[in-house]
Amino acid sequence: MSKRPPRGAIGRIRVAVASALRRAEPPPRVVDWAIAVAVAVEVVSGLYSFTRGAPSGAWVFWLHSAVGLTLAGLVGFKLYRVRRRVTARAAWDRFTPLSVLQAIVTLAALGTGVFWVLGGNVPVLAWTTLNLHVGLGLLLVPLVLWHLRGRFHSPRDVDLDRRAALRTGALLVAGTLAWRATEAADRTLDGATRRFTGSKPTGDLYETETEGGGFPVTSWVADDPDPVDREAWTLSVRGLVEDELDLPYDDLAGDAPEREVEATLDCTSGWYTHQRWGGVRVGDLLDSAGASDDARYVRFTSVTGYRWSLPIEEARDALLATHVRGEPLSHGHGAPARLVAPGRRGFQWVKWVETVEVRERGDPMQWLVTLISGFE
């Protein structure tokens, strides 16, 4: 190949950019390992973020954004480095198709994340772009593991000297600055209506699916019971209590709810709604039943089996809601009663609650049960 001297201003800029990029690029194996680590951080922080609904958890979302944009830079370097191995068919080996697929999924995961943050949403069937982002991110786990099987270099071979470490650190700084820039861009484009969780206010997200209080009815996967008959239903309070209770609807709600609270329902599909909820304070229920001193957790179980548990102090302040905006709950929103757990994400707000159980331990199986609830 012959190298011609660059001509004109554009040529000179191109050369300057190329040489700056060359100076910024960490060594290949450092890039590869940094990608693996960044993907791991993204998957863990992304999943962990599902459990953060109060502003004290905002750092998880910041970390996820900054590392995500750093990953974009790393992937850029990597794709540039291997471009010839992909474009020349003769250079393909049996792992190349998988690598190409991995590159596509990675770019799609990053792209949907950034698109969402900038206010975009193109729903596909029941999926928001945020759901799609989560799905693509999770798909990366098996792909990266498989890729490591085919292209593994021991971390001991990684030439992470001072300079490589500085370059990698500089990329992280660039990723963080890029994240600040997307936040600023979002404020101008979208008026910063997103919560720190990334969720957007409802109304326009799912115009067709609103019912009752004017916010979406969302059920996790296949949980879709028949309407619960208020007259036949009772709320059972069980477990570590002096007196087990079976409360009919009228004892719970009477003519008007005992207590009203304002709380934000924030679904991991990416929407939130701030509502006034009416019902009974769970602490009052526990006091009527006489919760034991050994009690540490309270578990709320739906007629469908879907369930969640909260540490007892938090549970006491939660609400078993029968009303929203002064109206009895609609079926879709969990009538006769649903959990309102301020500071928790929507999937933890169990609908159609029929049992409240006072327990000594938490319930690790609840994670699995919520995922598969409704598939019988």
Ligand X SMILES: Nc1nc2c(c(=O)[nH]1)N[C@H]1C(S)=C(S)[C@@H](COP(=O)(O)O)O[C@H]1N2
E-only strand ranges, the chain = 200-201, 210-211, 215-216, 234-239, 245-248, 259-267, 271-281, 297-302, 307-311, 319-324, 327-328, 338-340, 353-359
Structural element, H or E, at residue 243: none
Residue 77 contact partner, candidates ligand X, Mo ion, none, CB within 5 to 8 A by sort of partner: none
Token code pair at residue 191: 């008026």
Q: Yes or no: say if 196 and 55 are a contact pair by the CB < 8 Å rule.
A: yes
Q: Which residue number, 234 or 330, has a Cβ lying nearer to ligand X?
A: 330
Q: Of 343, 213, 347, 201, which is closest to residue 278 (Cα–Cα)?
A: 213
Closer Cβ to ligand X, 33 or 116, answer by number: 116
Scanning the structure block, which residue is given the tokens 């936040």? Answer: 183
Helix 58-87 to helix 28-49 angle (10° resolution) is 140
Rounded Cα distance, 138 and 135, in Å: 5
Using CB under 6 A, which of 102, 112, 199, 218 touches ligand X?
218
233 forms part of the interface with ligand X (CB under 6 A): no
Q: Does 346 bind ligand X (CB under 6 A)?
A: yes
Q: Which is nearer to ligand X, 285 or 335 (CB)?
A: 335
- Return the range that interacts with Mo ion (CB under 5 A); candidates 78-86, 179-187, 217-225, 251-259: 217-225
Residue selected from 306, 347, 349, 352 as contacting Mo ion according to rule CB under 5 A: 347
Binding mask 304-323 for ligand X (x = CB under 6 A): x-x-----------------
Q: How far is the CB of 57 from Mo ion (least distance, A)?
A: 16
Residue 175 or 332: which CB sits closer to Mo ion? 332
- Rounded Cα distance between 353 and 337, Å, is 6
> Does position 351 bind ligand X by CB under 6 A?
yes
Which candidate, 323, 244, 326, 320, places its Cα nearest to that of 289?
244
Give dist(CA 243, CA 287) in Å, integer.
10
The span from the CA of 259 to the CA of 253, in Å, is 10
Query: Is 350 an interacting residue with respect to ligand X (CB under 6 A)?
Result: yes
Query: From the CB of 209, what's the least distance to ligand X, in Å?
Result: 9
CB 305 within 8 A of CB 370: no
Stretch that binds Mo ion, among 103-111, 158-166, 252-260, 262-270 (CB under 5 A): 262-270
Stretch that binds Mo ion, among 60-68, 71-79, 85-93, 259-267 (CB under 5 A): 259-267
Nearest-10 crossing angle of helices 58-87, 96-117: 140
Decide if residue 220 touches ligand X (CB under 6 A). yes
d(CA 76, CA 67): 14
Task: Please give the residues from 138 up to 197 whose contact with Mo ion meets the rule CB under 5 A.
Answer: none
Show the binding pattern over residues 260-299: x = contacts ligand X (CB under 6 A), - = does not.
-----x-x--------------------------------
- Residue 299 Cβ, how far from Mo ion at the closest point, in Å? 19
Q: How far is the CB of 337 from ligand X (least distance, A)?
A: 11
Which positions lie near Mo ion, rule CB under 5 A?
A: 218, 267, 346-347
Which positions lie near ligand X, rule CB under 6 A?
A: 215-220, 223, 265, 267, 302, 304, 306, 332-334, 346-347, 349-352
